[in-house]
Amino acid sequence: MSVQSLKLPTILVPDHPHWPQLSDVERDAMKQRIAEKLKAQNAVLVAHYYTDADLQALAEETGGCVADSLEMAKFGAAQEAETLVVCGVRFMGETAKILNPEKRVIMPDLGATCSLDEGCPADLFTDFCDDHPDHTVVVYANTSAEVKARSDWVVTSGIALPIIEYLASEGKKILWGPDRHLGNYVQRITGVDMLLWPGSCVVHEEFKSVALERIRRLHPDAAVLVHPESPEHVIDQADVVGSTTALIKAVAEMKNKEFIVATDGSIFYKMQQMAPDKVLIEAPTAGEGATCVSCAHCPWMGMNALHNLDKLLDSDENEIHIDPATRERAVIPIQRMLDFSVQQGIGMKGKGNA
Ligand code: 13P
Ligand code: SF4
């Protein structure tokens, strides 16, 4: 089966959820209520940088964590809490469950998926891998438990480059899935030829290179920060290409006053917290006339809010369950990545690459 002959499913991108506005008093009361429920249930919040600012703040205030997908995976495993409340997208909850089968893992909305995950169905991916048995299968963390179970290695954007360099040094042929932009970027940096699954992120794919050139001319001293799920011509204009953690670090450490940021806009909460005096500019998406479909905010991440988190903690719903045989296989490539990251000191405090 060739890449060209793959018939990928059409991805239905949901509208952005509209949550009721909260006054400051209502917001504080809701946060207080959630904090009490977390404590009573011995639960901890694990939130991604792309979730709503209120959730990120609450995770920090209640002893949880706000992190990229690599650090989220590590954090859950180091917790004594019996319940992990994952605010992010489904693959993040599944990874937490795979690594912590004895813990209860719940999410505000189990329908919060990801276009990369949706665009890589396990049956099709398995057939594709079976057709290339001489290849080492490396999958991005943004995939289902079943796809991970068919892989040899799992990577996140924070660790993809050194893992691919390592595998190439071992003489391995690599099959990469599902993000073709990140895969293409890794190929260009490492010089390693990889067989790429043709998936993409609907949010990052919307960043436009011509409009970015225009905005760079208006802000000639701004540094351009780009997540590697973006298209090649956008990446080519970047001063820094990297995982969400690497981009936040760049804002905090670089001398520039202004930053043009090509990734989900919710990351501004953490960037502004780390560097309150810096000016952050959203990289253009569909140019003039951009609509909500291309507004640099992941619609699935947007399914996490204080409102449904509050309700979640009153129910026994939305628990992640993974078939034990799938979990047994999927944990191997995830653990390989985590062990590699410890060996290399990647994703530890203050370190990070892509
Ligand atoms: P990070 O691994 O950089 O957190 O990215 C996850 C993601 O979904 C980016 O779109
Ligand atoms: Fe998936 Fe893109 Fe959303 Fe990240 S931003 S969760 S890659 S759809």
- 29: domain CATH number is 3.40.50.10800
Mutation pick for ligand 2 pocket among 300, 303, 304 (CB with most ligand atoms within 8 Å): 300
Each residue's pLDDT tens digit, 207-249: 999 999 999 999 999 999 999 999 999 999 999 999 999 999 9
Residue 11 lies in a domain: no
Answer for the pair 149, 330: CB distance below 8 angstroms, yes or no.
yes
Nearest C-alpha to atom 3 of ligand 1 is from which residue? 243
- State residue 6's pLDDT score: 86
Same domain? 337 vs 191: yes
Same domain? 328 vs 318: no
- The phi and psi torsions of 174 (rounded to 5 degrees) equal -120, 130
State the DSSP string of 17-41: P-PPP--HHHHHHHHHHHHHHHHHT
How many angstroms separate the alpha carbon of residue 92 from the centre of ligand 1?
Answer: 10
User: How far, rounded to the nearest angstrom, does the alpha carbon of residue 177 sit from its chain's CA centroid?
Assistant: 15
Mutation pick for ligand 2 pocket among 91, 147, 229, 247 (CB with most ligand atoms within 8 Å): 229
Same domain? 341 vs 257: no
- State residue 4's pLDDT score: 82
Residue 13 lies in a domain: no
Answer for the pair 88, 156: CB distance below 8 angstroms, yes or no.
no
Residue 9 lies in a domain: no
Residue 286 lies in a domain: yes
Same domain? 81 vs 220: no
Residue 6 lies in a domain: no
- State residue 293's pLDDT score: 54
Strand partners, 319: 106
- State residue 294's pLDDT score: 62
Same domain? 259 vs 122: no
Each residue's pLDDT tens digit, 42-59: 999 999 999 999 999 999
Same domain? 106 vs 176: no
Domain that holds residue 221: 204-297
Does ligand 1 come within 6 angstroms of the Cβ of 243?
Answer: yes
Answer for the pair 181, 201: CB distance below 8 angstroms, yes or no.
yes
- State residue 340's pLDDT score: 95
Same domain? 264 vs 306: no
Which structure tokens are listed for 294? 């291309």
Same domain? 169 vs 92: no
What's the number of domains the chain is made of? 3
What is the Cα–Cα distance from 300 to 203, expressed in whole angstroms?
10
Same domain? 293 vs 239: yes
Residue 2 lies in a domain: no
- State residue 350's pLDDT score: 37
Same domain? 131 vs 269: no
- State residue 52's pLDDT score: 96
Residue 190 lies in a domain: yes
Same domain? 148 vs 132: yes
Kindly give the number of the ligand 2 atom that is closest to the alpha carbon of 88. Answer: 6
How many angstroms separate the alpha carbon of residue 120 from the centre of ligand 2?
Answer: 13
Mutation pick for ligand 2 pocket among 115, 180, 230, 297 (CB with most ligand atoms within 8 Å): 115
Which structure tokens are listed for 194? 């990889």
Answer for the pair 274, 248: CB distance below 8 angstroms, yes or no.
yes
Same domain? 38 vs 83: yes
Residue 5 lies in a domain: no
Q: Give me the residues of the chain with pLDDT under 50, please.
A: 287, 290-292, 348-354
Kindly give the number of the ligand 2 atom that is closest to the alpha carbon of 263. Answer: 5
How many angstroms separate the alpha carbon of residue 341 from the centre of ligand 1?
Answer: 16
